């Protein structure tokens, strides 16, 4: 073939005819793209791999090679690269796999991995995530205390993202007043334990995620059992005793804690990672050495809360958890993010580790758990 002539373009029907006559079809898409369906009998070799060492997979430079991708652009580029490498009979299939499938030609797909590649295809297209990152999410275990206002959006999006195991702890049952903001739950599940209601909703969204439900109140006796195997812990609690308990347990066990809180029209998010970064990253006690008096911090039942506000804060918590699992970006460690819904403004406060913190100070032994209810009521 004259190297100056354009690459031959053929339609899928002609490609199938030539394949049956002995030509080889090479699908140059990525693995996750091919898993959702490819031309029957095609060899799957990603474009970059093919161009790096074509002789390893196509030793005969005189063979007829039909290249296919999703729409025809990558296959044409790959054909030009192969011809430059000495292949004389390379052809690009116009319309690619999209047209091949639309015309009803024979298709195969990777049934064993189809759900994974199809469900997470948008993550797989992100170079920062890719298959390796998605597999890390699949292997991750995230513990969440609270299946209410913050836990609902966070759990929904973590399940959608493919976190392998979600541990949910909440001893409450679904009440009609929850439905204004706690989107895991429905009218039909009023009176059902929240963790069971959450399990039903999350399994319907993504049945591949394992849900471990604990209808228990978090105490010093069970907190380590609930979070010890977690990669990340999410604080979706609505009271100070649980927040201090979670903080202390995460410092002791070296777990990153994604904190969130809402009040009326405002919310806060941060990441407390003092257990793994003693003396460098702050913990919750560094921010709040002592709890505010009850009259200064009423809960949602007392003060009310804008229904969408926990959605914003819970999604920020889920985002931080995913970043921590993937090792992406800059987590909110050492930063407290404030959100004002009425002004639609975010502002950030820098946080420092307290060198005298009774729990996370560098070199300080864990002091043990305390009576957190009494501590917060004092």
Active site residues: 300
CA-to-CA distance for 73 and 339, rounded, in angstroms?
A: 44
Greatest pairwise CA separation for the chain in angstroms: 88
Task: Give the number of other CB atoms < 10 A from CB of residue 273.
Answer: 26
Cα-to-chain-centroid distance, residue 127: 14
110 exposure class (CB count in 10 Å sphere: 0-12, 13-18, 19+): middle
Please tell me whether residue 107 adopts helix, strand or coil conformation.
strand
Nearest to 68 by CA among 45, 102, 35: 45
Place of tokens 């979070």: 227
Buried b (16+ CB within 10 A) or exposed e, 274-295: bbebbeebbbbbbbeeebeeee
Residue 117 gets which letter from DSSP?
A: H
Q: Could you report how far apart the first and last alpha carbons of the chain are, in Å? A: 88
DSSP codes joined into one string, 279-292: TTS--HHHH-SSPP
How many CA atoms are closer than 13 Å to the CA of 93, on its beta-carbon side? 31
CA-to-CA distance for 90 and 82, rounded, in angstroms?
A: 7
Beta pairing, strands 141-145 & 165-169: parallel
Strands (E), 170-315: 210-214, 232-235, 257-263, 266-272
Task: Give the number of other CB atoms < 10 A from CB of residue 270.
Answer: 28
């Amino acid at each position: 073939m004259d190297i100056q002539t354009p690459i031959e373009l053929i339609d899928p029907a002609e490609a199938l005819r030539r394949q049956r006559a002995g030509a080889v079809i090479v699908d140059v898409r990525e693995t996750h793209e091919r898993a959702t369906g490819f031309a029957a009998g095609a060899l799957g070799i990603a474009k970059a791999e093919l161009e790096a060492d074509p002789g390893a997979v196509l030793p005969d430079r005189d063979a007829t090679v039909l290249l296919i991708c999703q729409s025809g652009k990558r296959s044409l580029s790959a054909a030009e690269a192969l011809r430059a490498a000495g292949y004389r009979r390379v052809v690009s299939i116009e319309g690619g796999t999209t047209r091949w499938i639309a015309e009803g030609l024979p298709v195969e797909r990777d049934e064993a991995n189809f759900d994974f590649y199809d469900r997470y295809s948008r993550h797989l297209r992100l170079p920062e995530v890719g298959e390796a990152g998605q597999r890390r999410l699949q292997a991750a275990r995230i513990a969440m205390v609270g299946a209410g206002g913050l836990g609902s959006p966070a759990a929904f999006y973590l399940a959608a993202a493919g976190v392998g195991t979600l541990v949910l702890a909440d001893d409450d049952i679904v009440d009609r007043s929850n439905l204004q903001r706690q989107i895991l739950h429905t009218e039909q599940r009023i009176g059902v334990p929240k963790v069971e209601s959450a399990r039903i909703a999350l399994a319907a969204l993504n049945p591949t995620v394992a849900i471990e439900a604990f209808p228990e109140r978090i105490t010093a006796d069970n907190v380590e059992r609930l979070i010890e195997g977690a990669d990340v812990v999410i604080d979706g609690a609505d009271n100070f005793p649980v927040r201090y308990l979670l903080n202390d347990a995460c410092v002791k066990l070296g777990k990153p804690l994604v904190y969130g809180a809402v009040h009326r029209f405002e919310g806060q998010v941060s990441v407390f990672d003092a257990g793994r970064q003693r003396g460098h990253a702050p913990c919750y006690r560094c921010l709040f050495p002592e709890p505010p008096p009850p009259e200064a911090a009423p809960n949602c039942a007392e003060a009310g809360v804008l229904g969408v506000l926990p959605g914003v804060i819970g999604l920020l918590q889920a985002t931080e958890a995913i970043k921590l699992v993937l090792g992406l970006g800059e987590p909110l460690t050492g930063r407290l993010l404030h959100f004002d819904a009425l002004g639609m403004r975010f502002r950030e406060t820098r946080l420092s580790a307290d060198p005298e913190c009774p729990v996370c100070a560098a070199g300080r032994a864990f002091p043990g758990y305390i009576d957190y209810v009494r501590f917060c009521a004092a």
